[in-house]
Amino acid sequence: GNSVTQMEGPVTLSEEAFLTINCTYTATGYPSLFWYVQYPGEGLQLLLKATKADDKGSNKGFEATYRKETTSFHLEKGSVQVSDSAVYFCALSARNMASGSRLTFGEGTQLTVNP
Amino acid sequence: DGGITQSPKYLFRKEGQNVTLSCEQNLNHDAMYWYRQDPGQGLRLIYYSQIVNDFQKGDIAEGYSVSREKKESFPLTVTSAQKNPTAFYLCASRGDVLGYGEQFFGPGTRLTVL
């Protein structure tokens, strides 16, 4: 079956530090990959996505590259801000009928950025 | 603005009572989903529907029921059979017919059983 593994949290950084949150996946077929962000007490917002190998998704200074050879989709940001404090979820949507139309999520990584 | 609305934001229920959570979308999406989120954990799929009048069980459907009578609406009922219903419930929808696009989420309903 499909699965997503994220680096364990929580992650605590100082403002302007470099951020990496690791995400690896297992999937049949050729999945689309996503990063979602959840602020306290809110729903999930799509942060970025990539639909094929070597695609780079980017948004709000965050980037992630779809690496088929390492089955990874690591999230990076060069300089984090206090406002980036949130929970980040990696997810995949597999392109085969056996998986139906569901997303498979990682466990989430709590990021706290201190001023 | 198009989007997904969930109501109420906070819901309290006594043990043994059924309660229904509302989810409405005006995005004209075919597929809709219900997830449960427990503190410090990821999302678990309860039910999903890819078309009106049809729905499928997710990974944790026991103690829950849904209906999909209209494209815009996908209410979730938490029944008294659900042993531990206190959680944050998220509704989502997806517009692409091929099934591998992103899902869009509502703001969530926090259910507390007293």
Q: From chain B, pick out residues whose CB is under 8 angstroms from the CB of A105.
A: 42-43
State the pLDDT confidence band at A59, using cuts at 50, 70 and 90. very high
- Mapping DSSP onto H, E and C, the string for B1-62 reads CCCEEEECCEEEECCCCCEEEEEEECCCCCEEEEEEECCCCCEEEEEEEEECCEEEECCCCC
* Minimum mean pLDDT range among A30-44, A56-70, A99-113: A99-113
pLDDT at A100: 57
Contact criterion met (CB < 8 Å) for B102 and A34: yes
> B94 near B105, Cβ under 8 Å?
no
Strands B104-105 and A23-26 come out as unpaired
- Residues with Cβ within 8 Å of B52's Cβ and at least 6 positions away in sequence, in order, are B68, B69, B70, B71
pLDDT of residue B25: 97
How many Cβ atoms sit within 10 Å of the Cβ of residue B51?
Answer: 12
B103 in reach of chain A (CB within 8 A): yes
With a cut of 80, say whether residue A37 has pLDDT above it: yes
Residue type, B110: R
Q: Where residue B99 falls among pLDDT bands split at 50, 70, 90?
A: low
Report the first-to-last Cα separation within chain A, whole angstroms. 41
Both structure tokens of B70: 């209209």
The Cβ of residue A115 has, within 10 Å, a number of other Cβ atoms equal to 7
Average pLDDT over residues B3-10: 94
Closest residue in chain B to residue A90, using alpha carbons only: B42
Q: How far apart are CA B16 and CA B6, in angstroms?
A: 23
Q: Which residue of A has its CA nearest to B97?
A: A101
Do A101 and B90 count as a contact with CB atoms less than 8 A apart? no
Question: B101 vs A32: CB contact, 8 Å cut-off?
Answer: yes
pLDDT of residue B97: 62
If 0-12 CB within 10 Å is exposed, 13-18 middle and 19+ buried, where does residue B61 land?
Answer: middle
Facing B41 at nearest CB: one of A45, A51, A107: A107
Averaged pLDDT score across all residues of chain B = 92
Separation CA A83–CA A101 (nearest Å): 32
